[in-house]
Amino acid sequence: MTPPQIPPNTSPGDASWHEARLLPTIGIRGQEEQEKRATSALLAVMRAVPEFGRSLLSEVGAPRGRISTYSEVRLAEVDGKVSIPDGAIVVEWGKKVWTALLEVKTGTAELAEEQVTRYIDLARANGFDAVLTLSNQLTAAAEESPVRVAKAKLKKVELRHLSWWAVITEAVVQHRHRGVSDPDQAWILGELIAYLDHEGSGASGFEDMGSEWVTVRDAARNQTLRAADPQARAVAERWEQLLGYVALGLGQDLGGEVSVSRRRNQPKDERMTELVHALAQHGTLSGGLRVPNAVGPIVIDADLRARRVTTSVRLAAPADKRARGRIGWLLRQLKQAPPDLRLEVAFAHTSETTASLLSQAHEDPSALLSAKDPKREPREFTLALSRPLGKKRGRGGGSFVGDTREQTIAFYRDLVQDLRPWQPQAPKLPEQEDQGEIAATPSPTPPAFASGEEVREVGEGPASRSEQSGS
């Protein structure tokens, strides 16, 4: 059979040649079609690749079982009207069933309180267990919703939320790192990743810092920003989403869960209040990321007044060395670190600190010792790297979102992943004595807890009563 001929002056590498995809992004017209395609693609793959579907649904508290998915389901409301949610998910295990309605937004569209509340009422009227929302809005946990819903509405129906970026992260981690047992299912999951990663899908993750970003950034720099300004809270909420976006992106590369560092059980309103006050009073936005088994959380500080973003990490100084030995222990781990890395040293029993750039510390390690007492032992080291703050509101090059994400990942790659915490040495046995000396040493007295019979068996016990009496 003659192989097909490629047209002249063309090749598979030409831009005019589009690779055939299971889930094409070509021809998407408008927001509504974008949402329908993304919803259908996700629900179909959740069913076709059970390992991915179960892993994703576990994030929202669904049980492990057989997954069935449906798009654009028609349900009757309390008043008799018919509503058409974007989808429904059914999980069966044994004779039990868990069901959820799905509401989806793509691109810059945000969830509306009225619509989510209406779907909660619809779910309760039709016996559903949960309402699952999906958008590009990131939250601290699946239990937190981007919209406010009265607690009384949630007595019989749970409200859970996932971001598209969290969905992409779960798909990437499952595909690249955990693996999919069936090769065909692995290919299908790869097609979903390719689809969602395309900008045309509307599911590409965190978009930007919002329309208020430039106004708040300039007001913070000019020290005219006030905590009561509504724009300040909007930027604080975007900052928290940015932290989640960076954490999930780093988790995609590492193949594990990277989480935002937060105080345990701290309500969202309290977190927002703290962020807004710091932004208004000091012009700063701060947060941290926890990477499993890293020496410590990666702290991210954005100073809008100085227009700098600083990433840092802390590690404890070794406890079995003197002052100079502790400094040397740190510097030996930083041979390949950036020369403009700033080293800060905190000492025990004093508020005194010292600081130096890494390039200077390599030349003169004593610059990091206490000026008051060079023998004072360092207690903790802080390693920090500062870079200019991106000005654009989007997430490309030169933007605050893009530059902050790139800086954080580079900080982990170039520094944090190679740092090792101090660990005390295992206790050592005393050196073994010379065998000749051991042989010349009299045998020790048998232990007091040994019985007479046990002692006689080894030939070292005292004579029996009959032997002592001469009989």
- Per-residue pLDDT at 60: 94
pLDDT in tens, 142-194: 999 999 999 889 999 999 999 999 999 999 999 988 889 899 999 999 999 99
Q: Which residues of the chain have pLDDT under 70?
A: 1-16, 18, 394-395, 433-471
- Per-residue pLDDT at 435: 56
- Per-residue pLDDT at 3: 57
- Per-residue pLDDT at 452: 42
SS3 sequence of the chain:
CCCCCCCCCCCCCCCCCCCCCCCCCCCCCHHHHHHHHHHHHHHHHHHHCHHHHHHHHHCCCCCCCEEEEEECCCEECCCCCEECCCEEEEEEECCEEEEEEEEECCCCCCCCHHHHHHHHHHHHHCCCCEEEEEECCCCCCCCCCCCCCCHHHHCCCEEEEEEHHHHHHHHHHHHHHHCCCCHHHHHHHHHHHHHHHCHHHCCCCCCCCCCCHHHHHHHHHHCCCCCCCHHHHHHHHHHHHHHHHHHHHHHHHHCCCCEECCCCCCCHHHHHHHHHHHHHHHCEEEEEEECCCCCCCEEEEEECCCCEEEEEEEEECCCCCCHHHHHHHHHHCCCCCCCCCEEEEEECCCCCEEEEEHHHHHHCHHHHCCCCCCCCCEEEEEEEEEEECCCECCCCCCEHHHHHHHHHHHHHHHCHHHCCCCCCCCCCCCCCCCHHHHHHCCCCCCCCCCCHHHHHHCCCCCCCHHHHHCC
Domains of the chain: 30-201 (3.40.1340), 213-418 (no CATH)
- Per-residue pLDDT at 276: 97
pLDDT in tens, 289-307: 999 999 999 999 999 999 9
